[in-house]
Amino acid sequence: MDKPDTSLEPGPENAAARLRPTVIKPPAKTKTSDSVMERSEEADQRSTAAQMPPIDPATRKIRQENDRHKSTPSTLKPTALPGIERKRIEVGPAHLKKIAPLASPDVVRRAIRILETFVLDAATDRTAVLWGHQLQRQYSDLVSRTLELSHDDLLVKATGYINRMTAILTSIDIQAAADVPAGAGALRQYLKRLNSRIDTPDELESARVELDQLVRLMGSSLEPLLALKETLERHSRRVDDMGLEVEAAALAAEYLSTRFSERRQDLSRRFLERSMSLTQTVAQIRGSSSLRVVQIEQPLSLIAAIQNVALVTVPGWLGGLAAMTTVLRGRHKPTPTEAGELAYELSNIVQQLKV
């Protein structure tokens, strides 16, 4: 009995055979077909060239010249502008040291940098008259800014806090308040209020409350005072750098005056005048250095008074004053030792605030 043909029946092997992709290879490119195509292209080019009219030698030369210019970048073409070459000044430290032997190396370098950008042939009366004028204007603006910083509202308020605290503490008379006998009459209490001293329990309590308020205000102004101090330091450095620039401009102007002394007497005179004016500005800047140091020290002294006295010593002393006020209001008399210690601490606080 013949076995049935199972090749067409479903099964794993037959299913995989049916799902295989069919690949169709493109026909191979033969060398013969490539050579045939190249020969046909050459034949077409020859037939096209045979149909074009011949090019005369002049036209061919022009076309070759145009192709050469197109292949050359335009940036490689030499450029020239009519006119006269402007020569700059060749100056070294030795030339300037002859004019100003005491000038610092930094000033000499700055002056050389200024002169190296100057063209002698381009000098005019306007150039000489305005030489260094912008620097002097900038210095004037810095002076105005210095005055604004020295009268800043923060400095005024912090100084007012210190002065008010000093005035209150100076008016307190601990010994007089402690010497009031227990159960003193109302007339004596009234007469003590008429004087300018703070020596009654009510006056001591009012003074304590205000002093406590001043301590809080001073504490909140500490950080702004530090920022103001840093601003003053940066401003002072700008003024010092401006002084070097002005001095260099003055030295450069004096050098130009000597260069123009033989051929341009008018320019030589004007550059000399500008050099003298700039030298006066340098003297003003140097003379203001001590004032700027004092301005920087002003917020520093306030910061020291606030940190060391108002925020440290005064709060502890106010605690002792509050205890003494409680004793006096209870119609008791503090001991001489308690009153003496409190008065001694008060004297030290006032001396520290006045420094």
Q: Which of 175, 170, 178, 214 is nearest to 196 (CA)?
A: 170
Identify any residues that bridge with 68 across adjacent strands, giving them in sequence order: none
CA nearest 313: which of 268, 351, 265, 266?
Answer: 351
Residues in the chain: 355
Phi and psi dihedrals of 25, rounded to 5?
Answer: -85, 135
pLDDT tens for the 355 residues of the chain, in order:
444 444 444 444 444 444 555 555 555 554 444 554 555 555 555 554 445 555 556 556 556 666 665 544 444 444 444 444 556 667 778 888 888 888 889 998 998 998 888 877 777 888 888 888 999 999 999 888 888 888 888 899 999 999 999 999 999 888 888 775 544 445 455 545 555 788 788 888 889 999 999 999 998 888 899 899 889 889 989 999 999 999 999 998 988 888 887 778 888 889 899 999 999 999 999 888 888 888 888 888 888 888 888 888 898 888 888 888 888 777 677 778 888 888 889 898 888 887 5
Rg (CA), the chain: 48
pTM of the model: 0.60
